[in-house]
Amino acid sequence: MLEIEDLHVKIGDREVLHDINLTIREGETHVLMGPNGSGKTTLLRAIMGFSGLDVTKGTIRFKGKDITNLPIHERAKMGIGMLFQRPPTISGLKLGKLLAVTSGDRTAMVSEYARFLHMDAFMDRAINLGFSGGEIKRSEVLQLMVQQPDFVMLDEPESGVDLENITLIGNAIARLLEKDVHIVNRKKSGLVITHTGYILDYLDADFGHVMCDGAFRCHGNPREILKVIKTSGYKECLACQKIQ
Amino acid sequence: MPEDPVKMSELSPEDRERLTLTGLEVEMKNREGSFFQVDQEIRQWTSLNERIEILPIHEALRKYEWLSGYSWNLVKKDKDQYTKYVADQPEPRGFVIIARRGSKTIYPLQACLFLARSPVQHVHNIIIAEEGAELHIISGCASASYTKTGSHIGVSEFYVGRGARITSTMIHNWGEEISVFPRSAARVEEDGVFISNYVCMQPVRKVQMAPFVDLAGRNAIARFSSIVVCTQGSYMDLGSVARLAAEGSGAELVTRAITTGGTIISRGMIEGAARHTKGHIECRGLILRDGVIHAIPEIKGDVVDTELSHEAAVGKIARDEIEYLMSRGLDEDVATATIIRGFLDVRIAGLPDALQAQIDAAIDSAEKSGF
């Protein structure tokens, strides 16, 4: 599904991602962990193709095609979707209007998804204007459900969300990633940034990666990695030589 | 040059389309009354509501002696050269609408002011909503497709009685060399509501106006909304002024302005002159191509317990907003247009659906032509 090879990314004059190699196959969910400022969000933004960062070396391939230089919307159309940790507020643009534009032939599903995420009362509200933390994340997940991407990137889906909303959002993301489908038949893939690991209660992630200072420092079982981080912090990861 | 139309239905298809863009229903569908003036000739007037009267001003002044007390009362004859020009006309033109006590309109009355051949069109309108009446008016102002230059001067005096409500929506569709000088004022009595909307999405040489509302009765409310796109060569000096003269009164002045090369001066002034009053001015401007948006919000408090605020922001569309929508699969042009459409989408509380639909249609039309 996604193959990143020897990726180097600069913001301004500073290289912020170094030598990133990552392969995510169809049906797999990967978890990305790391301290604040380590480059996790930058990696997601580089995969999505956002401006403000330069890929100076390496390639990003999606479904076998080199997308390193494709514009954002073409990547989205190919099947990449992203849940933003802090999406912008677009005053005036109603959530319902945006979903009407993005839903294509899935218009009929919009209200069902909105009800599922308790967002039916928000369709006439400007995107993210005055939304609480949980409402922002529910709006993000709703937009992704309507978009139905094959590869979903989730930037801290549980941050700023209360326990009740985590259950709702976790179940919705599980649906988005086809966790209800047998692993053999599962087509959707994901890359999830998490600090707390709460979201893993709903996702059954397959692989974990730790990023420090813009480079991968560890790959392995996501729950094992999380356990180490919770007990010893990221210094253990920095000292770890287990990287493959 | 084609013959001047006698009725709206006799307009050429091109001019019918121009009027439709100002919100007018040539076939009177969903309208409770109509007034049609071409240059200085009043061609048609009718009301389908027996409790709401619509008349040419010269007939109304003859019919009702008391009406002279309402004429040139809120707008002074010597306010400026434009009001003097209208006041000096030996044969006044324009309309009078009187909504009788407790009357209600479901659909709006429409007034069409059409500039065809005259170098100057002048109108003087008086609109009265008596106690408890509810009146919705849409004024469509346009020039004929073959009219390249000219001026329109319109004086309007609105009287909102106790517990009454007037919504006045004005949509302009002039030409690139036409100058427009509306001069309006309103007085709102106790518990009355005055909602005034101005929409201009098409080129015009100059528009200059600053309607004034005197909130004279307790708990009187006024809301002014201006939604404009200013193209290259256009100059729009738009403002509104509210005086919170009675306890509990409130005013809100909202502007959404886009320049694609023209100059917009967006003024707003609220004076809090009584206790327990509230006023807010909001001006947001987008510069899509080099042009000018100059926001000048003013608030003045005279007493304790008046709460006044303003916010103004002028800039470009944020890159992160465009890219956010692109990440949902919209290409850059569609993402940009979607954001602009949202920017202009001001929901006006208390506006009938039919009028909101006309405002939306004017914005849709501008969107189709790429703003």
Q: What is the pLDDT of residues B289-316, one digit of tens each?
A: 899 999 999 999 999 999 999 999 999 8
pLDDT of residue A241: 58
B3 — contact with chain A (CB < 8 Å)?
no
Provide, as residue numbers in chain B, all residues whose Cβ is less than 8 Å from the Cβ of A103: none
Q: Does A147 touch chain B (CB under 8 A)?
A: yes
Render pLDDT for A42-83 as a digit per residue (tens, 0 to 9). 999 999 999 999 999 999 999 999 999 999 999 999 999 999
Give the helix ranges, DSSP H, for chain A. 40-48, 72-78, 95-102, 107-116, 133-147, 163-176, 200-203, 222-232, 234-239
- Condensed to tens digits (0 to 9), the pLDDT of residues A128-166 reads 999 988 899 999 999 999 999 999 999 999 888 888 888
Give the Å distances, CA to CA, from B165 to A87, B131, B274: 40, 9, 22
Q: Which CATH architecture has domain A2-239?
A: 3-Layer(aba) Sandwich (3.40)
B342–A72 C-beta distance less than 8 A:
no
Flag whether pLDDT at B285 surpasses 90. yes
Say if A102 is an interface residue toward chain B (CB within 8 Å): yes
pLDDT digits (tens, 9 = 90+) for B2-56: 555 566 777 788 888 777 777 777 777 888 999 999 889 998 899 999 999 999 9
The pLDDT value given to residue B1: 46
Calculate how close chain A gets to B320, using CA atoms only, in Å: 7
Q: When comparing pLDDT for B293 and A180, which is higher?
A: B293
CB-based contact A218:A226 (threshold 8 Å) = no
Phi-psi domain of A222 (left: phi exceeds 0; alpha: psi -120 through 50; beta: other): alpha
Average pLDDT on B147-168 reads 94
Chain B closest CA to A178's CA: distance in Å?
20
List for chain A the helix, strand, coil content (%; round to 5): 35, 30, 35
CA distance, residue B324 to nearest chain A CA (Å): 7
Q: How many CB atoms lie within 10 A of CB A194?
A: 23
* Residue B3, pLDDT score: 55
Of A76, A94, A97, the CB nearest to B327: A76
Res B109: pLDDT: 93
Q: Per-domain residue ranges for chain A?
A: 2-239
Hey, which residues 295-354 in chain B have their CB within 8 Å of chain A? 318-321, 323-332, 334-335, 338-339, 341-346
Q: Where are the alpha helices (DSSP H) in B95-219?
A: none
For the cut 50, the answer to whether the pLDDT of residue A244 exceeds it is no
How many beta carbons lie within 10 A of that of residue A125, not counting itself? 17
Rounded to the nearest angstrom, the minimum Cα separation between B318 and chain A is 9
User: Which pTM was predicted?
Assistant: 0.83
Give B260 or B128, the one with higher predicted confidence.
B128
pLDDT at site B187: 98
Q: What are the beta bridge partners of residue B143?
A: B115
Give the single-character DSSP code of B366: H
Instruction: Say which range, A235-239, B12-16, B111-115, has the weakest mean pLDDT.
Output: A235-239
Q: Is B117's pLDDT higher than 50?
A: yes
**Mean pLDDT rounded to a whole number for chain A:** 90
Helix (H) or strand (E) holding B50: none
pLDDT digits (tens, 9 = 90+) for A99-127: 988 888 778 889 899 999 999 999 999 99
pLDDT, position B270:
98
Reported ipTM: the value is 0.94
Euclidean distance between CA atoms A82 and A187, whole angstroms: 17
Token pair of A30, please? 């990967």
